[in-house]
Amino acid sequence: MAKPSVAVAEASGVPAQASCSCPCPGTTLFPYPPPRGASGIAAAAVRRKCLQAEVGGGACWGVESMRASSPTHARAAAALAGAGADEEEERAAWMARHPSALGKFERIVAASEGRRIVMFLDYDGTLSPIVDDPDAAFMSETMRMAVRSVAKHFPTAIVSGRCRDKVFGFVKLAELYYAGSHGMDIKGPAKASSSRHEKAKVTHHRLAYSSIVVTLLTFIQPNRTKLTGKRSPVPTGNGERVPAHDRGCARAPGRDDAQHTRGQGGEQQVLRLRPLQMRRRKDVGRAVGVGEGRSAGVPQAAADAGADGAGGAAHHQVGQGQGARVPARVARLRGLHQRPARVHRRRPHRRGRLQGAAAPGPGPRRRHPGVQAPQGDQRLLLAPGARRGDGVLAAARRVEAPLQAESDAMRRSTQRTKLTDAAKCQLVGCV
């Protein structure tokens, strides 16, 4: 449940949204951070009324109640209550630079110009409070009702670094999309929502498209056993262990729970690649490492650029190191031994194994040598028909191109459709 100390808008004195039968204050009139001194009881009453209206078919889309029960909102309000003038000013400046999407919701709706809106929600720290025990990060019933209400109007997805099952276990709403393991594991609604968006087709592809960047970056992390879902008995190359509650989930490289809690560096960290490891698999007798030893990674500038938005990072030349090593036997099989050999001297203890390894030239089979997929992991990312050895980027582009085409086609068809005002309203749920 939302904490009694949570301050939401004043119960009185704020006019209701004109087009909205819900008793919640209008979004733009609902200041963030909320005004101090609001009575907790009055606030709870407003929230309850709002929920009743929303759940009973009201017209606020659940956004207000979601905001009111947001743990971040609660924390901000609590922090504000005890803050000095300087802190308050600093916070206000920060908020001005990072406005809440919920606070701008009407503008978002207006800017959508009748296009469909899809809600992507984070779980930890957004729908649930940050708590010490990750297994106890429960969401409140109030929040659940709010999300359910939102999902009646918009296709709604929860995107999390946690396992999909774990997130579902917390949220327990079958009508949502769930993208677990940073988007590597996506599932659509098990039951159709009795919503207006039912007729509108939102495919897995669209979700997959938006998560392709994180998928890529997660894919090339060093500890591939996490990616294949096999438990790793050993720490990763970085001395990091997978927390017990996350075993079997993929984790983005560099993701660290403490940073997540502090709310800093998360995205940046996700985009900063760690050195990738080279392993030799005895069973197949060939190298299956992803990428290259020392210098593999996204150049910082590229990582910075990618941090701004989803699309960009997919086009980074990830994993471009010094050229991947190919064991001599594989090189012979591929005819690479005819190319000028390059002996790697950086890891002398491995020389025995890697001696004679050839740096692959730009041959047809290794267009992206730095990011060749381990055999066991290819099913996670490669598009149907992709050939082993093509490299992750090539595979991703194959996935991306049709998705982009599909998305363009959908956009064109939406633009062509002449919507009446009523139809527009239905689409955005503002009847």
Ligand X SMILES: O=P(O)(O)OC[C@H]1O[C@H](O[C@H]2O[C@H](CO)[C@@H](O)[C@H](O)[C@H]2O)[C@H](O)[C@@H](O)[C@@H]1O
Stretch that binds ligand X, among 39-47, 155-163, 283-291, 363-371 (CB under 6 A): 155-163
| 70 near ligand X (CB under 6 A) | no
Distance CA 180, CA 187 (A): 9
Q: Which residue's entry shows tokens 């209206």?
A: 53
Query: Site map for ligand X, 250-289, x if CB under 6 A?
Result: -----x-x--xx----------------------------
| 240 near ligand X (CB under 6 A) | no
| 226 near ligand X (CB under 6 A) | no
| 105 near ligand X (CB under 6 A) | no
The only residue of 78, 80, 130, 307 in contact with ligand X, by rule CB under 6 A: 130
CB of residue 72 to ligand X, shortest distance in Å: 12
Q: State which residue, 161 or 254, has the beta carbon closest to ligand X.
A: 161
| 95 near ligand X (CB under 6 A) | no
Q: State which residue, 260 or 424, has the beta carbon closest to ligand X.
A: 260
CB of residue 301 to ligand X, shortest distance in Å: 25
| 154 near ligand X (CB under 6 A) | no
| 400 near ligand X (CB under 6 A) | no
Q: State which residue, 123 or 154, has the beta carbon closest to ligand X.
A: 123
| 132 near ligand X (CB under 6 A) | yes
Distance CA 311, CA 313 (A): 6
Cα dihedral 171, 172, 176, 177 in deg (nearest 10): 70
Number of residues that bind ligand X (CB under 6 A): 17
Q: C-alpha angle with apex 331: 328 to 334, nearest 5 degrees?
A: 155
- Inter-residue contact 166 to 183 (CB < 8 Å): no
Q: State which residue, 167 or 371, has the beta carbon closest to ligand X.
A: 167
CB of residue 282 to ligand X, shortest distance in Å: 32
| 161 near ligand X (CB under 6 A) | yes
CB of residue 218 to ligand X, shortest distance in Å: 11
| 102 near ligand X (CB under 6 A) | no
